[in-house]
């Protein structure tokens, strides 16, 4: 009986069910069909194939991993069973779709979809079955591979896949930086060629494997550098890279980077309010709007402009106005905690947006028509019009905000925020003035957001109330949570993933937002502390694990 116990059929059944449902869903909602012709590696496999084979491989891997130690072959058996199971489901699905017309209900289950699923040839249902079993076995086999090698292989595969997905943008870059011959040698019809893909995969896997074994590049740059010197070299290299980045990236990618930068800036501010001080603010977009509208009113050359001053003079004023708004909002909510605070700030965010739309404010800030003719920043006689020029303005803003964030976090003020986040009463007993501490968090956080808003207004040249909806607040909150609450590098990673990737993956149309949702849910389930968590949050979420480890 222990054989069946080790097999854990109940759990396996559940995994089989989930894998089948995911595979059926991606087919039935039209994702597979959309990507049927989208090769990731030219002539070898398409995006669609990854979609309908991937889930099976993943769950087979999970199932195989759970096999008891010492009976690893059982893992392969589990993977095989799972593959056969999903295979039967999909075989039946294709057979049903071929023989009955279900399109009146499921409009996406088209002959084209069936063609893709059956690998474009008659009798392909059997091929599909075999392919599913094959990917399940591959997934299962991966679980048997030693840890280091598996990590290396997975990293290699993910990087290759990512490059394959972004190959169109990459091809354009290669063309303009090097030559079109090189570009088409590596990338053809939106996909990686087979040979470069293989080279990339092998290279990434090999480097990753060797690094893990400690044979190369264990953090040391040169042989004779002290850690402090190494740090200087590293900082210098990063600064240099950041300075030349727009030239490497070209207009489009720089524009994406600029958006990431602005959201990173907002994230840094919200990180202080939510991550350090623990005050859940859902109306953060309000300060962004206030910064943007202040910039617009002060600098616009249109009929709504009031001062006509230059960007650089207006910038500190915008930050000050937003910070003041943060201070003012802070006062009535001083005594609120948690959920109540979230609701009040949510309301504040909406008030600002509706005020911007209202007839009351229309004579000053233009109502739904917004404010137009906001000039770009100028340096001497040069107007910073192109994204590559705007990039430096944002870079400076981000650099200042990062410097301030780090210094404040490590100072006595940062301590105060953390103490307050943990326990307000004890913090007060410790000699911490809660009123000042809360107001300071709101004020500094709002100031960062105002800075982002001011640059945003100037970058766009015109602003409208609908740019400042609730979704921005939610997006900024999501990015600091996905990145890792309270962590500055985490905020950057969050901004890249939640702002940068959706922009780069435009060809995925509305499915981008599906992926976005899936990512958020999976993140919260499997890695709630975020990609690069701060120490405290990591401890908090994994305190149970450690205790269990110590006990076991």
Partner 1 sequence: MAMLEVNNIHTYYDKIHALKGVSLHVDQGEIVTLIGGNGAGKTTTLRTISGLLKPREGSVKLNGEDLSKYPAHELVYKGVSMVPEGRGVFAKLTVEENIEMGAYIDNDKARIEHNKEGAFTRFPRLKERRKQVAGTLSGGEQQMLAIARALMAQPKLLLLDEPSMGLAPILVDGIFDTIKEINKEGTTVLLVEQNASMALAIAHRGYVLQTGEIVLSDKADKLAKNETVQKAYLGID
What residues line the site for partner 1 (CB under 8 A)?
Answer: 412, 415-416, 418-419, 422-423, 425-426, 428-434, 536, 539-540, 543, 546-547
Between 292 and 420, CB nearer to partner 1: 420
> At its nearest, how many Å lie between partner 1 and the CB of residue 16?
39
> At its nearest, how many Å lie between partner 1 and the CB of residue 332?
19
> At its nearest, how many Å lie between partner 1 and the CB of residue 430?
5
> At its nearest, how many Å lie between partner 1 and the CB of residue 441?
16
CA quadruple 382, 239, 498, 480: dihedral positive or negative? negative
- Cα dihedral: 410, 412, 417, 421 (round 10): 90
Between 103 and 407, CB nearer to partner 1: 407
Gap between the Cα atoms of 21 and 296, Å rounded: 50
Between 150 and 538, CB nearer to partner 1: 538
> At its nearest, how many Å lie between partner 1 and the CB of residue 438?
12
Between 21 and 547, CB nearer to partner 1: 547
Between 337 and 539, CB nearer to partner 1: 539
Gap between the Cα atoms of 492 and 487, Å rounded: 9
Gap between the Cα atoms of 378 and 86, Å rounded: 61
Between 458 and 534, CB nearer to partner 1: 534
Gap between the Cα atoms of 450 and 270, Å rounded: 12
Distance linking the first and last C-alpha atoms of the chain: 27
Among candidates 312, 316, 322, which has minimal Cα distance to 376?
A: 312
Burial of 425 (0-12, 13-18, 19+ CB in 10 A): exposed
Between 218 and 412, CB nearer to partner 1: 412
Among candidates 61, 417, 479, which has minimal Cα distance to 284?
A: 479
Cα 121–Cα 123–Cα 125 angle in degrees, nearest 5:
100
> At its nearest, how many Å lie between partner 1 and the CB of residue 339?
20
Among candidates 356, 237, 388, which has minimal Cα distance to 289?
A: 356
> At its nearest, how many Å lie between partner 1 and the CB of residue 542?
10
CB distance 483 to 530 below 8 Å: yes
C-alpha dist (Å) from residue 479 to 97, 151, 349, 511 = 41, 26, 18, 19
Between 190 and 421, CB nearer to partner 1: 421
> At its nearest, how many Å lie between partner 1 and the CB of residue 422?
4
> At its nearest, how many Å lie between partner 1 and the CB of residue 537?
8
> At its nearest, how many Å lie between partner 1 and the CB of residue 334?
13
> At its nearest, how many Å lie between partner 1 and the CB of residue 272?
18
CB distance 302 to 372 below 8 Å: yes
Between 359 and 545, CB nearer to partner 1: 545
CB distance 39 to 190 below 8 Å: yes
Give exposure, 171-187, as e/b (b: 16+ Cβ within 10 Å). bebbbeeeeeeebeebb
Between 222 and 552, CB nearer to partner 1: 552
Between 309 and 543, CB nearer to partner 1: 543
Between 260 and 274, CB nearer to partner 1: 274
User: 227-270 and 488-495 helices cross at what angle (nearest 10)?
Assistant: 60
> At its nearest, how many Å lie between partner 1 and the CB of residue 271?
17
CA quadruple 86, 92, 95, 96: dihedral positive or negative? negative
Residues 6+ apart with CB under 8 A from 401: 265, 268, 269, 448, 451
Gap between the Cα atoms of 417 and 91, Å rounded: 58
Strand partners, 191: 188
Gap between the Cα atoms of 262 and 388, Å rounded: 14
Give the count of beta carbons closer than 10 Å to the beta carbon of residue 233: 12
């Amino acid at each position: 009986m222990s054989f069946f116990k080790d097999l854990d059929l109940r759990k396996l059944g559940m995994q089989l069910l989930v894998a089948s449902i995911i595979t059926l869903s991606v087919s039935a909602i039209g994702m597979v069909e959309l990507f049927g012709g989208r090769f990731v590696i030219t002539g070898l496999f398409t995006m669609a194939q990854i979609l309908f084979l991937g889930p099976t491989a993943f769950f087979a891997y999970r199932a195989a991993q759970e096999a008891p130690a010492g009976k690893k072959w059982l893992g392969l058996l589990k993977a095989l069973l799972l593959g056969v199971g999903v295979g039967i489901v999909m075989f039946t699905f294709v057979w049903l779709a071929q023989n009955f017309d279900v399109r009146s209900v499921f409009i996406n289950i088209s002959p084209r979809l069936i063609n893709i699923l059956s690998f474009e040839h008659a009798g392909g249902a059997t091929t599909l079955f075999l392919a599913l079993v094959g990917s399940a076995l591959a997934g299962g086999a991966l679980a048997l591979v030693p840890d280091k090698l598996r990590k290396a292989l997975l990293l290699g595969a993910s990087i290759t896949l990512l490059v394959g997905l972004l190959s169109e943008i990459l091809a354009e870059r290669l063309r303009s930086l090097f030559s079109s011959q090189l570009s088409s040698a590596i990338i053809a019809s939106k996909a990686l060629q087979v040979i470069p893909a293989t080279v990339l995969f092998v290279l990434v896997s090999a480097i990753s494997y060797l690094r893990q074994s400690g044979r190369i590049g264990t953090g040391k740059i040169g042989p004779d550098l002290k850690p402090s010197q190494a740090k200087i070299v590293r900082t210098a290299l990063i600064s240099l890279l950041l300075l030349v980045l727009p030239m490497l990236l070209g207009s489009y990618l720089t524009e994406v980077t600029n958006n990431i930068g602005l959201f990173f800036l907002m994230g840094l501010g919200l990180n202080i309010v939510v991550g350090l001080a623990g005050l859940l603010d859902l109306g953060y977009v309000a300060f962004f709007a206030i910064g943007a509208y202040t910039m617009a009113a002060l600098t616009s050359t249109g009929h709504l402009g009031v001062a006509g001053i230059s960007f650089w003079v207006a910038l500190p004023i915008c930050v000050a106005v937003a910070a003041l708004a943060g201070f003012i909002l802070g006062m009535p909510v001083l005594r609120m905690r948690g959920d109540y605070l979230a609701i009040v700030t949510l309301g504040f965010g909406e008030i600002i947006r509706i005020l911007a739309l209202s007839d009351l404010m229309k004579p000053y800030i233009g109502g739904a028509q917004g404010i137009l003719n906001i000039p770009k920043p100028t340096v001497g006689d040069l107007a910073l019009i192109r994204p590559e020029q705007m990039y430096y303005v944002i870079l400076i803003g981000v650099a200042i905000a990062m410097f301030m964030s780090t210094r404040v976090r490590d100072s006595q003020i940062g301590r105060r925020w953390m103490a307050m986040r943990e326990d307000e009463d004890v913090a007060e007993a410790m000699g911490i003035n809660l009123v000042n501490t809360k107001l300071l968090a709101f004020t500094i956080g709002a100031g960062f957001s105002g800075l982002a808003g001011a640059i945003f207004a100037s970058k766009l040249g015109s602003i409208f109330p609908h740019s400042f909806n609730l979704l921005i607040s939610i997006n900024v909150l999501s990015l600091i949570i996905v990145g890792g609450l309270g962590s500055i590098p985490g905020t950057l990673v969050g901004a890249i993933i939640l702002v940068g990737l959706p922009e780069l993956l435009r060809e995925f149309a509305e499915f981008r937002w599906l992926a976005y949702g899936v990512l958020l849910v999976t993140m919260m389930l499997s890695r709630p502390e975020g990609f690069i968590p701060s120490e405290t949050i990591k401890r908090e979420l994994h305190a149970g694990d450690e205790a269990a480890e110590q006990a076991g």
